[in-house]
Chains A and B, each alone.
Chain A
Amino acid sequence: MKILKGLGYAIGLPALLVLVWALATAGETNFFVPTPGTLLATFAETWFGDRILSDVLPSLGRLIVGVSAAIIIGIVAGLLIGSIKWLRDLTEPVLEFFRAIPPPVLVPVLMLLMGITDSMKVTVIISGCIWPVLLNTIEGVRAIDGVLSDSARTYGITGGARIRHLVLPSAAPQIMAGVRQCLSIGLILMVISEMFASSSGLGFTIVQFQRSFAIPEMWSGIVILGLIGVLMSFIFQITERRILRWYHGLREVENAV
């Protein structure tokens, strides 16, 4: 019963939106706005074929590699910068500078430097995704409770054990907030890095459809991007709930008092 109710809430609004869309486009002949039926048919014939292998999977691959690398580099660098004061003083102004650069402007430069390659696209994704993870990790590491840190020290928990048992779990809520932002930035940059000069990928395909006035196909590409976003957010939520179960429980208890 509870599951049914949850499911009802989850699909209720999408169903309503599709209904409104169907009613609004019924009998409509506007070339730029397809009906749900047309879109569904186009969607199936456009994507359930060669394009999965030639466009969707390569895009997803670059997205996964880029986002994973950004998360790992961000956490490792964040742990170092957050724990070592002189490193923090040294890097802070530089980090603010690089963070302020919008990653899309790097695409032409990276294209010149690295060529139109997968590594260029992955680099674009990393260069934009790393900041929320890195900066959140630094803040999370800095915000470790003094008493907790003293407790760990008095029990001889130092070095690697300290990172594993104290620093990482303690910074996890902030790191996860950074990862959440990182995922949505990653999707945007995946598309943008494929729009400029590319011969495959979702961004490339959508631009191709636009230019050749294949409007329903273009819309179906946009739908795919939305679905990827939903899937990523779903996976993130499951992971987050597992890692931060203690944190949500603690917050609930604190709020109840």
Chain B
Amino acid sequence: MPSEITDKNTVTNPAPAGGTPPNPDAMLSVLGVKKVYQTDGGAIEAVRNLTFDLRAGELACLVGPSGSGKTTLLKCISGLMAPTEGQVLLNGVEVSGPPKKMAVVFQEYGRSLFPWMRVRENVELPLKNQRLAKAERDRLVDEALEAVGLSHVPMSYPWQLSGGMQQRVAIARAVAYQPEVLLMDEPFAAVDAQTRADLEDLIRSVWKKLGITILFVTHDIDESVYLGERVIILSSSPTVIQEDLVIDLPAERDQLNTRSLPRFTELRHHVYEQIQLAKAGHRPAAASR
């Protein structure tokens, strides 16, 4: 069965590689991305063949069983790692290194902030590096800290804050950077459940306010359904797309009411089933797109 997918994709891939993305509205296009790691024990295929587009202003969640190459994919998209095959386009331009209009929030908040800089300096550093004027920097930093509810601790060091607050600093840094695309790699996997709910709402509000494109990687099914306008389900490794699902929940979401909607339960149920199928090694009969 997998061979059928591979065949189909190897036929469709060369066309977009020529230049223009297949979908002109796409902010971000992932085209036939494949990643094979060369190790001493032989080659490991982490991602087999992934193709999807994100429209400008979309909030999409990427879920998949653990070990389905989510982090690998994100590293390819963010330009930290070159895919073995295929390409990633941002605004129709191939990503060959970390693009200027993209920000990434990592899971390991404790290791993504500079421990020798205070909160404010951490948020400000990327802007300073872009040689923005002081007044402009101050405005962006203030707004970003305000947006994540951290205006009161600009002079603290990150390690003086709780995990959830540290992740807020990382989000503020990303927001202040004014990216067009925000990638988030399981950002809330290491914070407690209550903080997590707050941070989920924070992401929804930041997304609505700034209208940026967000790709949110998670292994949490509830989180993906609650947050996303769309959920992309990955198969187990070697990874292909299992299903691309539109989340037709109301735009205004809140932790209590949205999560108790019958539709939420249905969608959650559906995603859960798909993940279970993926874990069992089932692969989509036809290419998902």
Residues of A within 8 A of B (CB): 145, 147-148, 150-151, 153-157, 161, 165-166, 169-170, 172, 246-247, 249-250, 253-254
Contacts and interface: CB of A to CB of B under 8 A. Distances in A.
B284 interface: no
B254 interface: no
A169 B98 CA distance: 23
A161 B126 CA distance: 10
A157 B111 CA distance: 16
B207 interface: no
10 contacts: A150-B75, A150-B112, A151-B106, A153-B80, A154-B79, A154-B80, A157-B125, A246-B116, A249-B157, A254-B159
Given A153-B98, A156-B98, A165 B114 contact: yes
A150 B115 contact: no
Contacts of A246: 115-117, 157, 159
Contacts of A253: 159-160
Contacts of B115: 246-247, 250
A147 B116 contact: no
B129 interface: yes
A246 B126 CA distance: 20
Given A169-B116, A250-B159, A147 B129 contact: no
A147 B160 contact: no
A157 B106 contact: no
Contact of B80 (A150, A165, A172, A249): A150
Given A154-B103, A155-B125, A161-B129, A148 B111 contact: yes
A161 B130 CA distance: 11
Nearest to B107: A147
B103 A157 contact: no
Contacts, number: 68
Nearest to B127: A155
Interface residues of B, number: 28
B131 to A, nearest CB: 10
Question: Which 5 A-B pairs have CB atoms at the shortest separation, nearest pair first?
Answer: A155-B126, A147-B111, A246-B116, A169-B116, A151-B112
B102 interface: yes
A100 B259 CA distance: 67
Q: Most chain-A Cβ atoms within 10 A of its Cβ — which of B78, B104, B129?
A: B129
Nearest to A251: B159
A156 B117 CA distance: 17
B158 to A, nearest CB: 9
Given A147-B106, A249-B159, A250-B159, A156 B126 contact: yes
A156 B159 contact: no
Contacts of B108: 147
Interface string B52-81: 000000000000000000000001001110
A246 B111 CA distance: 14
B100 interface: yes
A169 B104 contact: no
Contacts of B226: none
Interface string B161-193: 000000000000100010000000000000000
B106 A150 contact: yes
A150 B98 CA distance: 9
B70 to A, nearest CB: 15
